[in-house]
């Protein structure tokens, strides 16, 4: 009957459990290894092993970014580095520090134009945003290409954020909209020392040659 099937399922002989008696526990086999819980235990063994290996490789790859190496496609979705935060941008502007090996005038177009006039150079403007993932991709993956970095070094570089809180960011967004007809990011502009527009480049590109052509035309 039902009880017999239940007891057989519990590995007990029929009649071994009477009224008020507790079913005897099945003893573990001598020398058996204790059961181990695993967060991936619900998966078939080959799948769990593959996932574990994948997580390990991904963790090592992310760890490489701790020493400042770019992380490629993942970089735009990570929290911004200190120099790409409002406080970091202000600190860099005050100290005149470099970013990725290039000297940038952070939120200081007047300073960049003055330096360009003094040195007879042109100004490359990176209109960017603290929350702009396409901007982060370009800065982490395009600007760091050796041939591109070599061309950028020939300009006076200005990085203008337009999505922060405060008058400086509003003024920079107004300047972008009124001068170039867009507030889309990223926008790259080359000016002469007097502020006249030489070339513009709107948006993200993964084509190194396309971006290099833009920079070379603007020199």
Confidence of residue 3 (pLDDT cuts 50, 70, 90): very low
Tokens 């009477």 correspond to 18
Instruction: Return the percentage of the chain with pLDDT > 90, whole number.
Output: 54
pLDDT value at position 80? 58
Higher-confidence residue of 55 and 118: namely 118
Q: Which CATH architecture has domain 82-218?
A: 3-Layer(aba) Sandwich (3.40)
Report the alpha-carbon distance of residue 136 to residue 68 in Å, rounded. 14
State pTM to two decimals.
0.63
Q: What is the mean pLDDT of residues 8-28?
A: 52
Where residue 113 falls among pLDDT bands split at 50, 70, 90?
A: very high
Q: Which of 83-92, 177-186, 210-219 has the lowest mean pLDDT?
A: 83-92
């Amino acid at each position: 009957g039902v009880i017999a099937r239940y007891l057989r399922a519990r590995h007990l002989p029929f009649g071994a459990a009477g009224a008020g008696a507790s079913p005897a526990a099945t003893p573990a086999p001598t020398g058996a290894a204790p059961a181990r819980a695993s967060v991936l235990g619900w998966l078939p063994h080959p799948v769990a092993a593959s996932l574990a290996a994948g997580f390990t490789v991904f963790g090592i790859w992310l760890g490489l970014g701790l020493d400042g190496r770019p992380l490629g496609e993942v970089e735009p979705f990570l929290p911004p580095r200190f120099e790409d935060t409002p406080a970091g941008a202000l600190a860099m502007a005050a100290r005149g520090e470099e970013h990725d090996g290039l000297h940038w005038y952070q939120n200081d177009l007047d300073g960049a134009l003055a330096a360009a006039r003094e040195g007879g150079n042109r100004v490359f403007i990176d209109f960017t945003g603290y929350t702009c993932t396409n901007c982060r991709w370009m800065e982490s993956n395009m600007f760091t290409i050796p041939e591109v970095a070599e061309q950028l070094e020939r300009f006076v570089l200005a990085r203008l954020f337009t999505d922060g809180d405060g008058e400086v960011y509003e003024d920079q967004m107004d300047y972008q909209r009124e001068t170039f007809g867009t507030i889309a990011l990223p926008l790259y502009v080359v000016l002469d020392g007097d502020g006249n527009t030489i070339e513009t480049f709107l948006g993200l590109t993964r084509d190194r040659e396309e971006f290099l052509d833009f920079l070379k035309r603007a020199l």
